[in-house]
Amino acid sequence: MAAPVSVCLLRLEDEHYALGDYQRGISRWCTGCGDNAILTAVQRLCRDDQLAPEKTVFVSGIGCSSRFPHYMNVYGFHGVHGRALPVAEGIKMTRPDLNVFVSTGDGDCCSIGTAHWIHAIRYNMDMTVVLHDNQVYGLTKMQVSPTSPHGLKTKTTPRGAYLQPLNPLTVTLGISNVSFVAQTVDWIPELLHETISLAFRHKGFSFVRVLQRCPEYLPGAFDPWVKDPGRTLLLVHKDGIEPSAGLSKTYRNQEEHDPLNLDRAREIASITDPIPVGVLYWKRDVPRYEDIRDTTRLYTADTIKAALEKEFDKFTIGPAD
């Protein structure tokens, strides 16, 4: 899977991308939807890291959050429900030179696409996955989601959600080869941007769960946390989030947490109140599937011919016998 030759070519003139270069159209999300905050954070990240728009691909499935690629002026792949991850894996395997992002929601990732999510963690391919978790189905107009709180009244659970919610963090941290897990919230823009930036810098499968508000179907659901900074647990570490003075001033409930400490990461993942934010786990040297399976030689018509003739030889009968 040799990368195209043009990867090696030097650009002859400097290009500089501004924030506007990453923007496409005007989002159709509801006013106050957390998706808008994530979009802003991601566009800032692209600008800060000067990602070449043509070398960047955003893959998504179906749901409110999966509209994300439409608003990015890069290559976008808005596929079918639950299948963003395997599509992204195929892209990354073929083209390790591309920056691959996945936008997925709690229904897309934790319900219809669960099998892919579990295995994507195991493959540990280099991609940044943002789970837009608003705890409800929005696009189909308010059905219960796997992450909905127990008792939540929705159109399919008029007497309240029957089951305890699935915890995407504990699940992710339970899978072998997990390499980067973080949680953040849509209402702290600085932290959101910082966390997604760290995730992008990790070379492996970076999983960021963003708790986000749905003003349409769950208005006020996160109000107690938004209004009381004490109910946010900020994870700080030199290898994770190093909060600014401003951030520290507001969010004083902090824990020094080493992202290499998996046991503690799993304990933190189980905490739902206060909401832990920051990097829970970050292990840099987990092997990546695209490297394990990489065939770095350059293949040409001649090498293919040679291999094919060798195979034909195995099965040939005829005058040579």
Q: Which residues bind other proteins (CB under 8 A)?
A: 1-2, 4-7, 24, 53-55, 57-59, 69-70, 72-80, 83, 85-95, 97-98, 115-116, 118-119, 293, 295, 297-299, 301, 303-305, 307-321
Q: At what angle do helices 34-49 and 189-201 cross, to 10 degrees?
A: 50
What is the DSSP code (8-state) at residue 193? H
Q: Tell me the C-alpha distance between 67 and 65, whole Å.
A: 5
Nearer to other proteins, 60 or 147 (CB): 60
Dig out the tokens for 84 from the structure.
């963003």
Nearer to other proteins, 256 or 321 (CB): 321
Nearer to other proteins, 74 or 169 (CB): 74
Cβ–Cβ < 8 Å for 312, 293: no
Dig out the tokens for 292 from the structure.
């394990």
Residue with tokens 């409930």: 253
As measured in angstroms, the least distance from the Cβ of 161 to other proteins is: 27
As measured in angstroms, the least distance from the Cβ of 214 to other proteins is: 21
Sorted by sequence, the CB contacts under 8 Å of residue 217 that are 6+ apart come out as 136, 138, 141, 142, 154
As measured in angstroms, the least distance from the Cβ of 88 to other proteins is: 6
Q: Tell me the C-alpha distance between 147 and 168, whole Å.
A: 8
Q: Tell me the C-alpha distance between 231 and 117, whole Å.
A: 29
Nearer to other proteins, 87 or 265 (CB): 87
As measured in angstroms, the least distance from the Cβ of 145 to other proteins is: 20
As measured in angstroms, the least distance from the Cβ of 177 to other proteins is: 14
Sorted by sequence, the CB contacts under 8 Å of residue 61 that are 6+ apart come out as 79, 80, 81, 82, 83, 84, 104, 105, 108, 109, 112, 113
Q: Tell me the C-alpha distance between 290 and 11, whole Å.
A: 26
As measured in angstroms, the least distance from the Cβ of 204 to other proteins is: 18
Helix, strand or coil for residue 49? helix
Q: At what angle do helices 114-123 and 84-94 cross, to 10 degrees?
A: 30
As measured in angstroms, the least distance from the Cβ of 81 to other proteins is: 8
Element (H, E) at 143: strand 143-144
Sorted by sequence, the CB contacts under 8 Å of residue 38 that are 6+ apart come out as 65, 68, 103, 130, 132, 186, 192, 196, 210, 212
Nearer to other proteins, 263 or 313 (CB): 313
As measured in angstroms, the least distance from the Cβ of 138 to other proteins is: 17
Nearer to other proteins, 70 or 266 (CB): 70
As measured in angstroms, the least distance from the Cβ of 175 to other proteins is: 12
Nearer to other proteins, 3 or 236 (CB): 3
Nearer to other proteins, 53 or 229 (CB): 53
Nearer to other proteins, 12 or 317 (CB): 317
Cβ–Cβ < 8 Å for 289, 124: yes
CA-based nearest residue to 42, from 51, 33, 30: 51
